[in-house]
Structure 1
Amino acid sequence: MESLKGKKVLLVGATGGIGSRLAKLLQGSGAMVYITGRNADKLSIAGEQAGIPANRQFQLDITHESDVYAIVATVQQDGPVDILINAAGIGIIKTMDTLTTEDFQRTLQVNLMGSFWLTKAILPSMKETKKGLIIHIPGVLGKVPMAGAAAYSASKYGLVGMMQSIREELKRTEIRITHLFLGGVDSAFWDTIDLRVQRDKMIVAEEAAKAIWFLCQQPASGVVSEMVLQPFNHQAI
């Protein structure tokens, strides 16, 4: 396994249940960690808990294209990013009779367009060095849809297709692309979703963070193209 010591890691979406725990794991492994989050207060707390200095914390809404490019450029002022982890995203679970155009567009804007801008911003420097690792988290609904997930699955299927196409463009480099297909994780994701779910039987957020931490250390001689992690009681894949 590759050591994380001294690696520059950009973790986007560090204020959530998974992201905040992942920030601690990365920082504890000796990586040079930069984190982003939409909420400044939550970002500051996540940074303090992980031991990440304020100058490596950036408030960011990935639906703002110019901000994405500006922050990536700032992070890379003293050298390219080795690992990009996109843990940002939203989940709107509604049936078609209640799903609005605004819901659909917002989901695509965060989960797909935001991922597009992050990837596009980070790739030039990775192409220059011909190496790097990009980790996105489509979730199992990026492979197997469910009722009420039209917007969410559309955004995640789009993400998977986009990154598979980009992977084909990068075949002559050592830039690796990894997808983590997570099933239900007991996190704040479910706080605003009106579904009857058994959160006590979901994946613990700490374990989901450890899975991403593991993927950051994949061997230089190979690539983990995708990993599936889902609850025992709801294996969709």
Structure 2
Amino acid sequence: MELEGKLAVVTGVSKGIGLATVEALLNKGSIVAGWGRTAPDLKHEHFHFFECDVRYNESVQRAFDQTISQLGTHVQVLVNNAGLGIAGLLEDMSLEDWHTMFETNVNGIFYCTRLIVPGMKELGEGHIINISSIAGTTGVEQMSGYCGTKHAVRGISHSLYKEVRDYGVKVTCIYPGSVQTNFFDNIESITVSDNMMRPEDIASTILHAIESHPNYHHVDIEVRPLMPKGRRQK
């Protein structure tokens, strides 16, 4: 897809992968609607922030309506990036934390995508990027809730792409390993380090998938840091 002048929606834009993706899209000439609870520290003539908590359908509907009314076009790119993880043994996990993860990571994708897909089908062009995780391909001790949500993202992505592919709409699911973001702020067992991938690395992968030939479809992309524990010494 040629990104110049295209309207893209990115969720979870305050920092990390979301913000890096917004900046990458703007550099390609896209018009970007950022949906999030907190506005990023970003000023650009083609960036428009709409307050949105993806846990709530009413909030997503309001952001969608504002985006369409103010920017006046169909959405051609959707990056479902908003998400969070809370660590803990399954039997110790509070109902609130469990529901927060599923409402954000799973329901949020449903609320956003269901509104944008009809316009993409009408245009005969569109690309949906869902950010899963390595945790969406395996199990991780003390991360059962988070893993459950990211496995759900994988299943949703695989089913959706088969529903929309014949309309010229792509769905790509990305599974990052460790990235230097605030995701680990509340996970005491992991410390952010320079050995992790950078948010802009994930953003570059997102752009690579979106800019591919119309008949070339990246379904799954797994990315990891090359040396997660640093370079081995001889």
TM-score, L = length of structure 2: 0.90
Match of 2:217 in 1: 223
Match of 2:15 in 1: 16
Q: Which amino acid aligns with 1:215?
A: A
State the SS of the aligned residue for 2:92: coil
Matched, 1:35 2:28: no
Q: 1:70 to 1:198 in 2, by over 3 A?
A: closer
Match of 1:3 in 2: 2
The equivalent position to 2:58 in structure 1, one of 63, 66, 80, is 66
Q: Give the deviation of 1:167 after TM superposition.
A: 2.1
8 Å CA contact 1:185, 1:203 repeated in 2: yes
Q: Give the deviation of 1:154 after TM superposition.
A: 0.8
Match of 1:177 in 2: 171
8 Å CA contact 1:5, 1:30 repeated in 2: yes
Mapped partners of 1:114, 1:12: distance in 2: 9
The equivalent position to 1:194 in structure 2, one of 188, 191, 201, is 188
Q: Which amino acid aligns with 1:161?
A: G
8 Å CA contact 1:38, 1:59 repeated in 2: yes
Q: Give the deviation of 1:197 after TM superposition.
A: 4.2
Please, which runs of 5 or more residues in structure 1 have no aligned partner? Answer: none
Match of 2:232 in 1: none
TM-score, L = length of structure 1: 0.89
Mapped partners of 1:97, 1:201: distance in 2: 32
Q: Which amino acid aligns with 1:4?
A: L
Q: 1:127 to 1:143 in 2, by over 3 A?
A: same
8 Å CA contact 2:133, 2:176 repeated in 1: yes
State the SS of the aligned residue for 1:135: strand
8 Å CA contact 2:4, 2:29 repeated in 1: yes
The equivalent position to 2:156 in structure 1, one of 152, 159, 162, is 162
Q: C-alpha deviations, 1:138-157, integer Å up to 9, x for none? A: 11111122111110011111
Identity among equivalent pairs (%): 24
Equivalent residue pairs, number: 227
8 Å CA contact 1:27, 1:52 repeated in 2: no
8 Å CA contact 2:26, 2:46 repeated in 1: no
Matched, 1:57 2:15: no
8 Å CA contact 2:34, 2:49 repeated in 1: yes
Q: Give the deviation of 1:3 after TM superposition.
A: 2.6
Please, which runs of 5 or more residues in structure 2 have no aligned partner? Answer: 230-234
Q: 1:59 to 1:52 in 2, by over 3 A?
A: farther
8 Å CA contact 2:32, 2:46 repeated in 1: no
The CA RMSD over aligned residues, in Å, is 1.9
Q: Give the deviation of 1:214 after TM superposition.
A: 2.1
Mapped partners of 2:21, 2:131: distance in 1: 13
Q: Give the deviation of 1:95 after TM superposition.
A: 1.7
